[in-house]
Amino acid sequence: MAIRFILLVNKQGQTRLAQYYEYLTLEERRALEGEIVRKCLARTEQQCSFVEHRNYKIVYRRYASLFFLVGVDNDEVCPSVLLNELAILEFIHLVVETMDRHFRNVCELDIMFHLETAHFMLEEMVMNGCIVETSKTNILTPIQLMDKAS
């Protein structure tokens, strides 16, 4: 059930944000991102928003030109507590809604120009591979305070 990575990739396959919750080398990341994007781009809108890749299950969602991908553990060590893909899918939307509230109508450029802010949001929402905060107010308050202070 642990989240292994969160990726934002545009439809040209360019990474726009990458947060890993386990250590992968630069080469491994590069390869993984390439493979996943290729896989997800090949899928149609009607198909499931879930893809298996190696030992990951990838839940993805497309917003305009940007893909939000979340990689989750796919090992069946404990079959009674498998992941809830639909919940992850909604979590992605929560991330986007949170970004939208902060950036007001978020777009790809907002994330590119404020990469650190986007990362800070994710830091509030996901820790140790778990979803730990889902209240937009709680997520954004520290970030807004920080902006204010600086």
Partner 1 sequence: MGSQGGWGQSKEFLDLVKSIGEARSKAEEDRIILREIDTLKRRIAEPDVPRRKMKEYLIRLVYVEMLGHDASFGYIHAVKMTHDDSLLLKRTGYLAVTLFLNEDHDLIILIVNTIQKDLRSDNYLIVCAALTAVCKLINEETIPAVLPQVVELLGHSKEAVRKKAVLALHRFYQRAPNSVSHLISNFRKRLCDNDPGVMGATLCPLFDLIKEDINSYKDLVVSFVSILKQVAERRLPKTYDYHQMPAPFIQIKLLKILALLGSGDKQASGHMYTILGDIFRKSEPSSNIGNAVLYECICCVSSIFPNPKLLEAAVEATSRFLKSDSHNLKYMGIDALGRLIKINPDIAEEHQLAVIDCLEDPDDTLKRKTFELLYKMTKSSNVEVIVDRMIDYMRSINDNHYKTEIASRCVELAEQFAPSNQWFIQTMNKVFEHAGDLVNVRVAHNLMRLIAEGFGEDDEGADSQLRSSAVDSYLCILGEPKLPSVFLQVICWVLGEYGTTDGKYSASYIIGKLCDVAEAHSTDDTVKAYTISAIMKICAFEIAVGRKVELLPECQSLIDELSASHSTDLQQRAYELQALLGLDSQAVESVMPSDASCEDIEIDKNLSFLDSFVNQSMEKGARPYIPENERSGMFNIGNFRSQYQHEASSHSLRFEAYELPKPSPPPTIPQVVLPLPTTDLVPVPEQTYPRETHHAPNLPSATDASSVDFGVKLRLEGVQRKWGRPTYSSPSASSSSSTQKTANGATHLDGRTVSSQTRDNFYDSRKQQAEVSAEKQKLAASLFGASTAKSEKRQLPTHKTPKGVPTTAEKPAVKGAISSSEPPKEKTVPSSPPPDLLDLGEPTPASTPSIDPFKQLEGLLGPTSAPSAIDHSSAAGPKTPDLMALYTDTPPAAVSSGSLNPELADIYTVNKNSHGTTNVAAMNKGQNRQDSLQKDATARQVGVTPTENNPSLFRDLLG
- Return the number of the residue (72 or 120) whose C-beta is nearest partner 1: 120
Least distance (Å) from partner 1 to the CB of residue 72? 14
| Rounded Cα distance, 12 and 66, in Å | 9
Least distance (Å) from partner 1 to the CB of residue 24? 9
Task: Collect contacts of 125-131 with beta carbons under 8 A, ≥24 apart.
Answer: 125/91, 125/94, 125/95, 125/98, 126/3, 126/6, 126/19, 126/21, 128/2, 128/21, 129/2, 129/3, 129/4, 129/21, 129/22, 130/1, 130/2, 130/3, 131/3, 131/91
Q: How many positions of this chain bind partner 1 (CB under 8 A)? A: 88
Least distance (Å) from partner 1 to the CB of residue 135? 4
| Site residues (CB under 8 A) for partner 1, limited to 22-41 | 23, 26, 29-30, 33
| Site residues (CB under 8 A) for partner 1, limited to 64-123 | 64-66, 78, 80-82, 84-87, 89-91, 93-94, 96-97, 99-110, 112-117, 119-120, 123
Least distance (Å) from partner 1 to the CB of residue 98? 11
Which three-class secondary structure state does DSSP give residue 2?
A: coil
